[in-house]
Amino acid sequence: MPDHTPTLILVFDVNETLLDITTLEPLFERVFGDRRVLREWFAQLILYSQTLTLSGIYTPFGELGVGTLRMLGSTHGVTLADDDIHELKTRMNTLPAHPDVVPALTRLRDAGFRMVTLTNSASTASPTPLERAGISDFFEHSFSVEAVQKFKPAPETYRQVAQALDVGMSNLCLVACHLWDTVGAQAAGCRGALVTRPHNAVLPAANVSPPDLCASDLTHLADQIIQRWQTA
């Protein structure tokens, strides 16, 4: 019988793509009086993670997240207490999955796709955030940038996945809700699939590679992936 297993391996980003960071909003509402500061914090966290990588410096993502929160406290004139830092760490370790995640992953698994994750966050002891969210069993491996000590979208972060799985870069498809992630993966030789959750969109600019696939939620993106790449 012919083998109908898809040759493409799906590499999922974790924070915001699979796990819902909006559950951090109550912390920012309480500390800053505005839950929208969450978006400022997350944008600054990504900015400085990439800055450190370009500068040849590495600080674990969790520590950088705490430092970014303290930095925002300074710029907003807010004094942060130890309890605020503890709450950030606790909430980051207990993020729930978005409602569309389990149905989409189930469809992709049933279609025969191999799936792994790749996150900027350092690996943690069990239970991991994916285990707490109840979705770890969908993935055969969870990769972290900790191994290369460079944050996405550095090409080394994607290459480590291909090397560990013993496949070519073209056999990987990065699934993320951040265009900077799919652009980096595609530049490194992977394919890219973008889910445009709120606050994320395609960047219409010269020489910026559009994602191979794009959808507003993970369920519809899964349908596109199956239609496009499942072996007939």
The pLDDT tens digits for 62-92 are 999 999 999 999 999 999 999 999 999 999 9
Quick check: is 126 in a domain?
yes
Q: Do residues 122 and 144 lie in contact, with contact meaning Cβ atoms separated by under 8 Å?
A: yes
Domain boundary among 73, 93, 113: 93
Domain boundary among 77, 93, 109: 93
Beta bridge partners of 11: 116, 174
Quick check: is 151 in a domain?
yes
Residue 79: give the domain boundaries. 21-93
CATH assignment of the domain containing 81:
1.10.150.240
Same-domain check for residues 145 and 220: yes
Quick check: is 1 in a domain?
no
Among 132, 124, 140, 136, residue whose Cα is nearest residue 61: 124
Same-domain check for residues 180 and 104: yes
The whole-number pLDDT of residue 2 equals: 44
Q: Band of the pLDDT at 232, cuts 50, 70, 90?
A: very low
The whole-number pLDDT of residue 160 equals: 97
pTM higher than 0.75, yes or no? yes
Q: How far is CA 18 from CA 75, 109, 136, in A?
A: 30, 15, 11
Radius of gyration of the chain (CA): 18
Q: pLDDT tens digit string along 136-187?
A: 999 999 999 999 999 999 999 999 999 999 999 999 999 999 999 999 999 9
Distance, in Å, from the CA atom of 89 to the CA atom of 105, rounded to the nearest integer, reads 27
Same-domain check for residues 155 and 187: yes
In percent, how much of the chain has pLDDT > 90?
Answer: 90
For residue 124, pLDDT over 80 is answered with: no
Domain boundary among 32, 63, 93: 93
Quick check: is 197 in a domain?
yes
Q: Which pair of tokens denotes residue 193?
A: 């699939």
Distance, in Å, from the CA atom of 12 to the CA atom of 192, rounded to the nearest integer, reads 10
The whole-number pLDDT of residue 230 equals: 85
Q: Which pair of tokens denotes residue 154?
A: 């550095």
Mean pLDDT of the chain: 94
The whole-number pLDDT of residue 208 equals: 94
pLDDT: which is higher, 126 or 106: 106
The whole-number pLDDT of residue 95 equals: 95
Same-domain check for residues 67 and 151: no
